[in-house]
Amino acid sequence: MFRFMAIGDVTSPTAARALAATLWQVRREYSLDFVTVNAENAGFIIGPPADVALALLDGGADVLTGGNHILQNMSLQATLENDSRILRPANYPDAAPGFGYTVVPAKGLRVLVGNLLGRVHMDPPLDSPFDAAERILAREAGKYDLAFFDFHAEATGEKTALAAFLDGRVTVLFGTHTHVPTADDGVLPKGTGYVSDLGMCGARGGVLGMSEESVLSRYTTGLPTRFAPATGALYADAVIFSIDESKRRTVKTERVTLSLPAPTEPTRKPARR
Ligand SMILES: [Fe+2]
């Protein structure tokens, strides 16, 4: 059995470092063969600084996926151009920096990981994620064994529509972006493992990873406010997909919530600014 853990949106550099400090231990504890982390908010509402992204990869993530905020951290763009383990959505224009998918080896298999952005209530407006998925699968046909896609999208309807479109054609499709885990993890009729949203990695309390005060003041006054990260015990929502390698199908899904240790020093020296 090939065991793949997908971890939800990391909401701050502090949460990213706490996750990086414990991920190898998590891999051993759950007998994991592959781990992805959605890092599009790991710089706090923007993509992570390069040293935080590399800490997650050094810490035990095989691939980091992105979303609508990943390219908003300008300091990450050179890293995105050079390291295909950190993805931005594939349906960005071709001129955008970075990679929309990658193929990496794991347990003797070639694992394709793709990243797509939704178009319903999402910004920026991009090309069809359905067409982008189709193009990737056609271009890489015969060159991968397992295919995992992160669909970073707001609307559950759009996510479940893509699930119906890709069922039986990809091994796993998971949703990210809403920061709230959904209870629909399972195996679709043609063997694709699916969940509408993984949830998030960050501090308990607050509002989706941001402090209550900073969010409430925007809602109660209608005025623009500067968001601040939530504080409190750190956790990470994830789903484990158990995959039958011979049939290349998901056979079981399991939702887990990891308690993370208090943040430690970064596992990699921060880059000089
Ligand atoms: Fe997002």
Q: What is the pLDDT of residues 132-165, one digit of tens each?
A: 999 999 999 999 999 999 999 999 999 999 999 9
Pick the more confident residue, 258 or 214.
Answer: 258
Q: Among all chains, which residue has been given the structure tokens 């853990």?
A: 5
- What is the topology classification, in CATH, of domain 2-259? Purple Acid Phosphatase; chain A, domain 2 (3.60.21)
Query: What is the predicted pLDDT for the residue at 266?
Result: 47
Which tokens is 245 given?
Answer: 């390698």
Query: What is the predicted pLDDT for the residue at 214?
Result: 87
Active site (annotated) includes residue 69:
yes
Query: What is the predicted pLDDT for the residue at 262?
Result: 78
Ligand 1 centroid distance, CA of 153 (Å): 7
By the 10 Å C-beta count (0-12 exposed, 13-18 middle, 19+ buried), 95 is classed as: exposed
Ligand 1 centroid distance, CA of 47 (Å): 10
Predicted TM-score (pTM) of the model is 0.94
User: What CA–CA distance (Å, rounded) separates 172 from 68?
Assistant: 21
Ligand 1 centroid distance, CA of 108 (Å): 32
Q: In what order do the strands lie in the sheet with 101-106?
A: 101-106, 109-117, 146-152, 172-176, 193-195, 186-187
Instruction: Report the candidate in 145, 191, 155 with the shortest Cα–Cα distance to residue 175.
Output: 155
